[in-house]
Chains A and B, each alone.
Chain A
């Protein structure tokens, strides 16, 4: 047979398809070869691709669907390696950057082929096609819908898992509380100062642990939509007075002044008293924690035609600009001189906002001048939420 005067490298780059070769070192998968047509398609230079990990060359865009596509791709590559069989990803969305560096929506049809030599997988060839324009939108939508349902299922089971795990954790934590309480209460004899201090620390830690478990449970409850509201007419002014009264010890301990600006006449809103009480407590508690000793916290209750407002203003450390968009996210913690001292799970504000939203209201943040924070809870005076979620006593 007459040999064609062409080497494999030239052949690889001349192939009409788009190929990329990786080492089987998940989860990053180093790219060892890429053909020119894929470089052209992805708008990338060969040297920016070769010897770099997949995750770096193809970063996540931040779009949920696109990032889910990136995850599916990685899972497919791993499956091709684990099973030593080609793995068809189907059509997934993975966005790429255009010339201006902006992410553009792209759909890809991709298959991963393992390179098997001497019984082991030496690498993976990814073969892909940009089907953004040609893909039949009907079947794409069907696939999207199926994937969405799949995500909802996973999310539900995550909520369920957190809820069950937290409940399971509560029992041993409760038992620890009892035994420490017995020792602290002197049931087995008086404690000297050092032993008391040690057991007290264990007890404080146990309290914190129980607090974290409660926070997790509360969040799992709002996330799963299982928080049922028992609504009644509540005078927010009166509720705020009660909360301040209950927390007066805390302010006294920190030598903080609390100022109440609450009108004499009732400002009623139809809310779940216990839930909104916890929301306001949470925000007042934060205001106190993140404000230095000796300073002032003020709470104002106001209303207009259809909305009632509770605003909590402090003279504390405030929130750095770069954290502004994140403070209501789960597990967000603001770094400041007081936050290490304060502790906490970063779940409180997330839960507070979500629970207020279930009432049809919201919580907003704005910086106070010259220093500190203002958190304003607004609540519709008459409910606007879906009544199906509301338990009527």
Chain B
């Protein structure tokens, strides 16, 4: 069995926005192990503050929807993905209602993933694919 592949381009920067600490830790460990640069936030407000401090958009944001303080939809409304074309947002949630999906897409989200159906391997495939799409572009 192969180890997780190391990311070819280690400069891909990913922001994880997830309120569950255990899950947030898991995603960080998986992505860091694969060689990505990772920042974490535990709700939408924290994510916005962090983005302000960084002064530069990450390449990918993994965004949970249901979070305290400021939820994923609230974050999207303030972050306005359409103003950040170089930043890919993957909505990473366990809520799969039409309403959530429609709203996230209408706010400019590119991908929608059901967390419970996503293994570490699937997660790496998703970010790897986005990374390679960016490299081609």
Chain A positions near chain B (C-beta within 8 angstroms): 167, 170-175, 177-179, 181-182, 184-187, 190-191, 196, 210, 213-214, 226, 228, 230, 391, 393
Most buried by A among B20, B27, B94: B94
Say whether, besides A171-B23, A187-B30, A391-B98, A210 and B121 are in contact (CB < 8 Å): no
Q: Find out whether the CB atom of B4 lies under 8 angstroms from the CB atom of A171.
A: no
Q: Find out whether the CB atom of B26 lies under 8 angstroms from the CB atom of A179.
A: yes
Q: Which of B35-43, B49-57, B112-120 contacts A (4 or more CB under 8 A)?
A: B112-120
26 examples of A-B residue contacts, CB within 8 angstroms: A170-B115, A171-B115, A173-B116, A174-B116, A174-B118, A177-B116, A177-B118, A178-B27, A178-B119, A179-B26, A181-B119, A181-B120, A182-B30, A182-B120, A184-B1, A186-B2, A187-B4, A187-B29, A187-B30, A187-B33, A190-B1, A196-B1, A213-B116, A226-B97, A230-B98, A391-B98
Inter-chain contacts of A173 with B (CB < 8 A): 116
Inter-chain contacts of A391 with B (CB < 8 A): 98
Interface string of B1-17 (1 = CB under 8 A from A): 11110000000000000
Inter-chain contacts of A172 with B (CB < 8 A): 22
Inter-chain contacts of A184 with B (CB < 8 A): 1
Interface of B is mostly: helix
Chain B positions near chain A (C-beta within 8 angstroms): 1-4, 20, 22-23, 26-27, 29-30, 33, 66, 94-95, 97-99, 102, 115-121, 123
Q: How many interface contacts (CB-CB < 8 Å) are there between A and B?
A: 72
| Contacts A175-B20, A178-B27, A187-B30 supplied; 13 other A-B pairs, CB < 8 Å | A171-B94, A178-B123, A181-B30, A181-B120, A182-B120, A184-B1, A185-B4, A185-B120, A186-B2, A186-B4, A191-B1, A228-B99, A393-B102
Inter-chain contacts of A182 with B (CB < 8 A): 26, 29-30, 33, 120
Kindly state the separation between the CA atoms of A170 and B65 in the bound complex, as whole angstroms: 14
Which chain A residue has the least Cβ–Cβ distance from B119? A181
Interface of A is mostly: helix
Inter-chain contacts of B27 with A (CB < 8 A): 178
Kindly state the separation between the CA atoms of A167 and B30 in the bound complex, as whole angstroms: 23
Which chain B residue has the least Cβ–Cβ distance from A393? B102
Kindly state the separation between the CA atoms of A158 and B87 in the bound complex, as whole angstroms: 41
Kindly state the separation between the CA atoms of A391 and B66 in the bound complex, as whole angstroms: 23
Q: Find out whether the CB atom of A175 lies under 8 angstroms from the CB atom of B26.
A: yes
Kindly state the separation between the CA atoms of A190 and B1 in the bound complex, as whole angstroms: 8
Chain A proximity of B13: nearest CB distance (Å): 21
Kindly state the separation between the CA atoms of A167 and B98 in the bound complex, as whole angstroms: 16
Q: Find out whether the CB atom of B98 lies under 8 angstroms from the CB atom of A174.
A: no
Kindly state the separation between the CA atoms of A226 and B118 in the bound complex, as whole angstroms: 25
Chain B proximity of A390: nearest CB distance (Å): 11
Which chain A residue has the least Cβ–Cβ distance from B23? A175
Inter-chain contacts of B123 with A (CB < 8 A): 178
Q: Find out whether the CB atom of B121 lies under 8 angstroms from the CB atom of A167.
A: no
Inter-chain contacts of A185 with B (CB < 8 A): 1, 3-4, 120-121
Say whether, besides A181-B121, A185-B121, A170 and B94 are in contact (CB < 8 Å): yes
B1 interface neighbour in A178, A186, A213, Cβ under 8 Å: A186
Kindly state the separation between the CA atoms of A393 and B106 in the bound complex, as whole angstroms: 12
Chain A proximity of B95: nearest CB distance (Å): 7
Q: Find out whether the CB atom of B1 lies under 8 angstroms from the CB atom of A174.
A: no
Kindly state the separation between the CA atoms of A110 and B123 in the bound complex, as whole angstroms: 63
Chain A proximity of B46: nearest CB distance (Å): 18
Kindly state the separation between the CA atoms of A306 and B95 in the bound complex, as whole angstroms: 36
